[in-house]
Amino acid sequence: MADNICIVDFGSQTTHLIGRRLRDMGIRVDIVDPEKAMELIRKGKPKGIILSGGPASVYEKGAPTVNKKIYSLNIPILGICYGWQLTAYLLNGKVLKGYREYGPTNLEIESSEPLFHGVDSYSVVWMSHGDSVMELPAGFVQLARTDNIRYAAAANNDRKIYGIQFHPEVEHTKFGLEVLKNFVERICNLKVKKKNINTYSLIRKIRKEVGCSKVVCAVSGGVDSTVAATLIAKAIGSDLYPVYVESGLMRPGTKERVIRLFEKQLKVRPIIVEAKKIFLKALKGKTDPEEKRKVIGGLYVKLFEKEAKKLKGVKYLAQGTIYSDVIESKGSKNASKIKSHHNVGGLPKNMDLKLLEPLRYFYKDEVRKIGRQLKLLDGIINEQVFPGPGYAIRIIGEVTKERLQQIYKADSIVIEELKKAGVYNNVYMSFPIMTGAKSTAVKGDGRVFMEVIALRIIESKDVMTTVWSRLPYDLMQKLSSRIVNEVPFVSRVVYDITTKPPATMEWE
């Protein structure tokens, strides 16, 4: 029997995050499709099986499933969310269709051994589900409940089959890592050891793939593209050509910052492509977020390919794509597509250049760790995330020169006030959204009907889950007051307090 865990992927946005958590424990992980699971598990004989979550309902026609005999292989099984619902359904329990629950909830543990060993009796867990188990299969006992779900966790200890409705893999489930560790150590009898990211291995892999070819690398000044470019530079040296496209959709001053950064860090001056007018023209009349993303992604590729043709021997376009980008752009067979990322689903299929994405299977916090190993400056590593499509997806509706000027000003106010209050580095993202909604207000003793700006200020580590930041009321008041007074044609400011899930990081 192999010393590994097999994860059956039913399409959850966090399936690979489960794998990442186990790999961090030094456990080898294989992720397989449900259709091939039985064959591969019988052949590989893993020490444990995890059935992931997924967007389907067990009652849907064509819903992903597994061979029922998987529960008779005498291999420990942990079903998470949909994986637990499917387990109960296949073993003749009852699942209630349509009860939806997203975000944090309180878990009360009824029985701790062995899955909840060392876990507090009451703790916060993260939910993201539509159905729930209402009646346990024969031989199962209740382990935990929430205010809304009776069987938030259950077990058949004799058969070593466990089910949990919450997601232990996400950072906002307080004792999630302990639950996974208990399954690995106490139930599957595997030894946990710390895993480190081997940066030199990544560099060797890039060198082997690229060979003698040259690479143009899309850079934005953000941590992802900077880490990707640094890895590639260490692999192929001067055969890397960083390219920054001045689209007019990024924060003012970004171009100058990118030039300083690459001249200091990599001793190379990036190629600058001036394209503000091109992007504004292409986005004219575009209001659908998917269409905007694809227009932006397609334009970027055309401009990169144009620059590549000026250079001899360029065969690759490198990007700082990370795994959360892939997931939201439908990263597996049974996953739901959330949105196209400009550097994943937004790319045209008929590209002349090959894609090089050295960070494709890493999460944001892992990318920051790689950046530290590469000795990048803290200011780069800890920089707040800014989306590749830039302000285009923070302006709901059509992107115009006037609305860009509005969001430039609102964004600068948010950054300035958060830094002044000493909280800027404590939040993951902080930004305004031009909502397109309008509201009535009184300015100068007269009625006005102007746009509403929303503020989204959130905390996260791996991007897969987020909570809204509890800013001091005085700071929130200052932000609101300055924005309605200093940003033209804005009547109201609202604060977005939606967690992820169900919300995504960006509004579009």
Q: Sort 261 into a burial class: Cβ within 10 Å, 0-12 / 13-18 / 19+.
A: buried
As a whole number, the mean pLDDT across the chain is 92
Query: Under a CB-based contact definition with an 8 Å cutoff, are residues 66 and 40 in contact?
Result: no
Give the pLDDT of residue 328.
54
Q: Which of 6, 16, 81, 188 is catalytic?
A: 81
The neighbouring-strand residues paired with 126 are 104
Residue 6 annotated as catalytic: no
Tell me how far apart the alpha carbons of residues 323 and 329 are, in angstroms, rounded to a whole number: 10
Phi-psi group of 444: left, alpha or beta (phi > 0 → left; psi -120 to 50 → alpha; rest → beta): left
Give the pLDDT of residue 349.
67
Give the pLDDT of residue 338.
47
Chain Cα centroid distance, residue 467: 13
Q: What b/e readout covers 373-411, taking b as 16+ CB neighbours within 10 angstroms?
A: ebebeeebbebebbbbbbbbbbbbbebeeebbebbbbbb
Helix (H, G, I), strand (E, B), or coil: what is residue 381?
A: helix
Is the backbone peptide bond immediately before 502 cis, with ω within 30 degrees of 0? yes
Neighbours of 100 (CB within 10 A): 11
Tell me how far apart the alpha carbons of residues 338 and 67 are, in angstroms, rounded to a whole number: 29
Of how many residues is the chain composed? Answer: 508
Query: Under a CB-based contact definition with an 8 Å cutoff, are residues 453 and 434 in contact?
Result: yes
DSSP H stretches of helix in 183-288: 199-210, 223-236, 254-265, 276-283
pLDDT above 60: residue 301: yes
Q: Which of 6, 16, 129, 169 is catalytic?
A: 169
The CB-based long-range contact list for 205-208 (8 Å cut-off, 24+ gap) reads 205/358, 206/231, 206/232, 206/235, 206/236, 206/356, 206/358, 207/235, 207/236
Residue 81 annotated as catalytic: yes
Q: Which of 226, 120, 221, 136 is nearest to 174 (CA)?
A: 120
Q: Which of 6, 16, 129, 167 is catalytic?
A: 167
pLDDT above 70: residue 329: no
* Topology of the domain comprising 4-187: Rossmann fold (3.40.50)
Residue 296: pLDDT band with limits 50, 70, 90: very high
Q: Which of 110, 368, 82 is nearest to 223 (CA)?
A: 368
Tell me how far apart the alpha carbons of residues 288 and 352 are, in angstroms, rounded to a whole number: 27
DSSP H stretches of helix in 311-353: 323-328
What is the mean predicted confidence (pLDDT) over 167-179?
95
pLDDT above 50: residue 67: yes
Give the pLDDT of residue 475.
98
Give the pLDDT of residue 443.
85
Pairing of strands 467-468, 446-459: antiparallel
Give the pLDDT of residue 334.
54
Query: Under a CB-based contact definition with an 8 Å cutoff, are residues 116 and 132 in contact?
Result: no
Tell me how far apart the alpha carbons of residues 314 and 306 are, in angstroms, rounded to a whole number: 11
Q: pTM of whole model > 0.85?
A: no
What is the mean predicted confidence (pLDDT) over 455-472?
91
> The domain 199-381 belongs to what CATH superfamily?
HUPs (3.40.50.620)
What is the mean predicted confidence (pLDDT) over 243-270?
94
pLDDT above 70: residue 331: no
pLDDT digits (tens, 9 = 90+) for 145-166: 998 899 999 999 999 999 999 9
What is the mean predicted confidence (pLDDT) over 39-50?
95
Matching fold, domains 4-187 and 199-381: yes
Task: Kindly list the domain boundaries of the chain, sorted by start residue.
Answer: 4-187, 199-381, 394-495
The DSSP symbol for 95 reads E
Residue 196: pLDDT band with limits 50, 70, 90: confident
- CATH code of the domain made up of 394-495: 3.30.300.10
Q: What is the CA radius of gyration of the chain?
A: 24
Tell me how far apart the alpha carbons of residues 311 and 88 are, in angstroms, rounded to a whole number: 59
Residue 341 annotated as catalytic: no
